[in-house]
Amino acid sequence: MAVSDGVVAWLGSDEVGLEQFPDAEETDLAGAFVAPAFVDSHVHLSATGLRITGLDLSAATSIDHCVRLLAGHVAAHPGEPVWGHGWDDTTWPRPPTTADLDGVAGGLPVYLARVDVHSAAASSALRQRVAGLAGAGGFDAQNPLTADAHHLVRAEARRLLTVGQR
């Protein structure tokens, strides 16, 4: 393996490596295993992929702005379930509520994941599709769902995605 400025520049046999990089500094690892530093013990791979589709709320500067973005998305995609992501209520007086979503989405299932992907606001239409949701840990009738309630509603939201949304 050849490393240049902290980046793996080449992989192959010692013989070929020494021919290609005759002046390189050698480090004998004595048979130790070398793995790329692509390890992340807390990756949200599917959430990252789903950010490519749906409603991006990362630019929302307030709860009102977030709701307006949702309303625009619903108008542009009539009848489709809404998969949104990226809202950050850190500087807002409160997060989006079920009533906020219902007010602009009508009877559509709406799932809006917070920027950290550990909670989500969900419309009544989505919540009603999940059996036992009210008894799950992290349930709140109006505020974003966390813990088990979030996992349950997220699974249902994923199931509802259309082929075009996937």
Q: List, for residues 82-121, the tens digit of each pLDDT value.
A: 999 999 999 999 999 999 999 999 899 999 999 999 999 9
Q: Quick one: fold of 45-160? A: Diaminopimelate Epimerase; Chain A, domain 1 (3.10.310)
User: Could you state, in order of their start, the residue ranges of all structural domains in the chain?
Assistant: 1-39, 45-160
pLDDT in tens, 115-150: 999 999 999 999 999 999 999 999 999 999 999 999
pLDDT grade for 47, boundaries at 50, 70 and 90: low
Write the DSSP assignment of the chain as a string of letters. Answer: -EEETTEEEE-S-HHHHHHH-TTPPP---TT-----S---TT--HHHHHHTTSSEE-TT--SHHHHHHHHHHHHHHSTT--EEEEEE-GGGSSS---HHHHHHHHTT--EEEEETTSSEEEE-HHHHTTSTTGGGSTT--SSSPEEHHHHHHHHHHHHHH--TTT-
